């Protein structure tokens, strides 16, 4: 009986968390309305940013997400009973599987938060070895616990036995490794008595929510003032009606944040227009600097992105961003899975951000250590196809993913053809002509020949790259194709007569 209730609770939780947070269809192209809709509180600026800070974001390729807070003490369970919630949502665990007085227990966990193994420099060094170019840290998740000594609440790291400023240590350590730091900030704050989900109606409710908005603004400016090296905010928990209703205030807040921190990068999850449209306004224009909805999912086609910048954030377990003690109960992604998702992202002009959930003592999960090493070993050999690379305007390859730089095309091969012939399909109109091919990892040059198959009405030509039969690889491998500006000289065959 208990097992069945547990399953029902888990399913119900999953439905609630998906429906409440889904702002847009992320399963296909974004529809644009036929008629223009008047929008006063839409994007502050339309079109892709061209400044150096945004170009740097565009070139990261690989990032690290870290979800860390008092939920790490629980690790997704309590007294051996697995919680049906995502690990960082464990506070909301209720029903007869929940421990007695659970929320009271949870709300006192901060009194034992004393991560004796926490070493920001070790985390930063691991991220560097993995090949991450930016890191997103949860300064405050939905439970309201702050990893920095905020002066606007008494629910912070300063009130724990550990006391020291986690955010400062991380920013200093990661920046020293050349890794940019972004601050995750949850608008949802279960610890703040003025936080609410529904839109305030009575005068009293409005006064209370205005206090909450002021508190939120104060914390955001406190974070920018305390940590001027931060590059941007990764906002979350912005799906409540109360926040959606405050669109004039959030519009002004975005202006003020950007004015206070030139170059600040904010994704599409921060706010909505006056019609309640989130991520994209009522005319389909992106709200913020990049699409921030690709959470545990990837676009199936490049065209769905309309050329926008974007990031994909991904867990190693199926779900659960905070520390999960026991991974044995589900599938956890392999380095092969993660390299596939990374190259899928970069091939479509996005960044791939892998999540780590350290335990209550500040140690990464052993599974995370293993994957960071495997991913880092691959990046050391193949990172050139990731960093600063972007979408190649070619038909998707059957062998893997194309990424592109000036004068270089990269093909990350996952599906090696049985005949060892990698066939590139290049439009006759291309102005970048393949010149030479090699294996990126060891610079071995590969035979490549121009092939004009003569298919009637074909708008493409082909280049066949031969893989040596002796070349074996247990991992995905990258073929680098040097290109030069020029013209494809193809046969002009008489068209078929039918
Ligand atoms: O509710 C959060 C969740 O706990 C986690 O932080 C993810 C990661 O971005 N975001 C929300 C779920 O969509």
- Residue 46 is assigned to a structural domain of this protein: yes
Domain boundary among 339, 360, 385: 385
Residue span of the structural domain in which 179 resides: 41-385
What is the CB-side half-sphere exposure of residue 311 using CA atoms within 13 A?
A: 31
Residue 183 domain-assigned? yes
pLDDT confidence of residue 268: 98
Residues 421 and 380 occupy one common structural domain: no
> Does the residue 408 lie in any domain?
yes
Hey, whose CA ends up nearest to atom 1 of ligand 1? Answer: 237
On whether both 195 and 117 belong to a single domain, the answer is: yes
What span, in angstroms and rounded, lies between the C-alpha atoms of 479 and 198?
A: 53
Q: Which atom of ligand 1 is nearest to the CA of 322?
A: 4
| Phi, psi at 293, each rounded to 5° | -105, -5
Whether 230 and 181 map to the same domain: the answer is yes
Does the CB atom of residue 295 touch ligand 1 within 6 A?
yes
Give pLDDT < 50 ranges for the chain. 1-3, 5-23
Question: Is residue 326 in a domain?
Answer: yes
Whichever domain contains 417, its CATH number is 2.60.40.1180
Do 236 and 369 fall into the same domain?
Answer: yes
- Together in a domain, 414 and 469: yes
Same domain assignment for residues 446 and 364: no
Query: Which residue puts its alpha carbon closest to atom 6 of ligand 1?
Result: 321
Residue 18 in domain: no
Are 408 and 272 in the same domain?
no
Domain count, the chain: 2
Please work out whether the CB of residue 148 comes within 6 Å of at least one atom of ligand 1: no
Ligand 1 atom with minimal separation from the 86 CA: 4
**pLDDT value of position 493:** 82
Is 20 within a domain? no
| Neighbour tally for 371: CB within 10 Å | 22
Q: How many CA atoms, within 13 angstroms, populate the side-chain half-sphere of residue 279?
A: 19
Last-in-domain residue among 354, 385, 416: 385
Give CA separation, 373 vs 97, 131, 189, 314, in Å. Answer: 37, 10, 35, 17
Domain boundary among 385, 412, 443: 385
Q: Is 21 in the pocket of ligand 1 (CB under 6 A)?
A: yes
Does 313 sit in the ligand 1 pocket, CB within 6 Å?
yes
Confidence (pLDDT) at 138: 99
Nearest partner of 199 among 145, 272, 269, 266, judged by Cα: 272
Amino acid 165: pLDDT: 98
Provide φ and ψ at 465, rounded to 5°.
-105, 125
Question: What's the CA dihedral at 296, 302, 306, 310 to 10 degrees?
Answer: 40
For residue 23, being part of any structural domain is answered with no
**Do residues 380 and 429 both lie within one domain?**
no
**Helix, strand, or coil (residue 151):** coil
What residue owns the CA closest to ligand 1's atom 4? Answer: 88
pLDDT in tens, 134-157: 999 999 999 999 999 999 999 999
Instruction: State whether 233 and 196 are in the same domain.
Output: yes
Residue 267: which CATH number? Answer: 3.20.20.80
Question: Ligand 1 pocket, 311 CB below 6 A?
Answer: no
Cα–Cα distance for residue pair 286/256, rounded to 1 Å: 19
Residue 41 beta carbon below 6 angstroms from any ligand 1 atom: no
Residue 19 is assigned to a structural domain of this protein: no
| Claim to verify: residue 312 and residue 407 sit in the same structural domain | no
Centre of ligand 1 from the C-alpha of residue 237, in Å: 7
Ligand 1 atom closest to Cα of residue 321: 5
Identify the pLDDT of residue 24: 61
Q: Are residues 110 and 224 in the same domain?
A: yes
Q: Does residue 421 share a domain with residue 366? A: no
């Amino acid at each position: 009986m208990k097992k069945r209730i547990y399953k029902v609770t888990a399913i119900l939780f999953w439905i609630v968390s998906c429906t409440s947070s889904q702002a847009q269809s992320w399963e296909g192209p974004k529809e644009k309305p036929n008629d223009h809709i008047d929008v006063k509180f839409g994007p502050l600026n339309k079109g892709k940013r061209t400044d150096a800070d945004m170009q740097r974001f565009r070139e990261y390729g690989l990032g690290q997400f870290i979800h860390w807070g008092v939920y790490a003490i629980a690790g997704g369970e309590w007294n051996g009973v697995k919680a049906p919630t995502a690990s960082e949502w464990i506070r909301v665990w209720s029903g007869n599987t929940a421990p007695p007085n659970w929320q009271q227990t949870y709300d006192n966990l901060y009194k034992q938060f004393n991560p004796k193994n926490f070493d920001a420099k070790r985390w930063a060094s691991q991220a560097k070895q993995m090949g991450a170019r930016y890191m997103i840290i949860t300064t405050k998740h939905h439970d309201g616990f702050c990893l920095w000594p905020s002066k606007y609440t008494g629910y912070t790291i300063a009130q724990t036995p550990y006391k020291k400023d986690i955010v400062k240590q991380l920013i200093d350590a990661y920046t020293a490794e050349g890794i940019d730091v972004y601050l995750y900030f949850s608008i949802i704050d279960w610890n703040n008595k003025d936080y609410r989900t529904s839109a305030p109606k009575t005068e009293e409710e409005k006064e209370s929510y205005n206090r909450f908005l002021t508190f939120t603004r104060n914390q955001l400016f406190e974070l920018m003032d305390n940590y001027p090296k931060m590059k941007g905010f990764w906002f979350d928990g912005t799906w409540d009606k109360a926040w959606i209703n405050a669109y004039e205030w959030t519009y002004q807040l975005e202006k003020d944040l950007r004015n206070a921190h030139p170059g600040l990068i904010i994704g599409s999850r921060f706010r909505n227009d006056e019609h309640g449209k989130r991520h994209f306004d009522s005319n389909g224009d992106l709200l913020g600097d990049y699409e921030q909805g690709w959470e545990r999912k990837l676009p199936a086609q490049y065209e769905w992105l309309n050329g926008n910048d974007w990031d994909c954030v991904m867990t190693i377990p199926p779900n659960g961003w905070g520390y999960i003690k026991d991974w044995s109960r589900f599938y956890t992604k392999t380095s092969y899975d993660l390299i596939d998702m990374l190259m899928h992202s970069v091939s479509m002009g996005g960044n791939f951000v892998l999540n780590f959930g350290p335990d209550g003592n500040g140690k990464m999960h052993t599974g995370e250590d293993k994957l960071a090493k495997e991913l880092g070993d691959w990046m050391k050999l193949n990172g050139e196809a990731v960093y600063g690379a972007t979408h190649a305007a070619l038909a998707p390859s059957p062998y893997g993913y194309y990424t592109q730089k000036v004068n270089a095309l990269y093909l990350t091969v996952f599906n090696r053809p049985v005949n060892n012939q990698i066939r590139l399909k290049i439009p006759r109109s291309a102005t970048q002509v393949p010149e030479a091919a090699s294996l990126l990892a060891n610079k071995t040059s590969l035979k490549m020949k121009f092939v004009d198959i003569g298919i009637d009405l074909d708008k493409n030509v082909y280049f066949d790259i031969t893989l040596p039969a002796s070349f074996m690889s247990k991992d995905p491998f990258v073929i680098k194709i040097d290109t030069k500006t020029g013209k494809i000289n193809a046969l002009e065959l008489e068209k078929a007569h039918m």
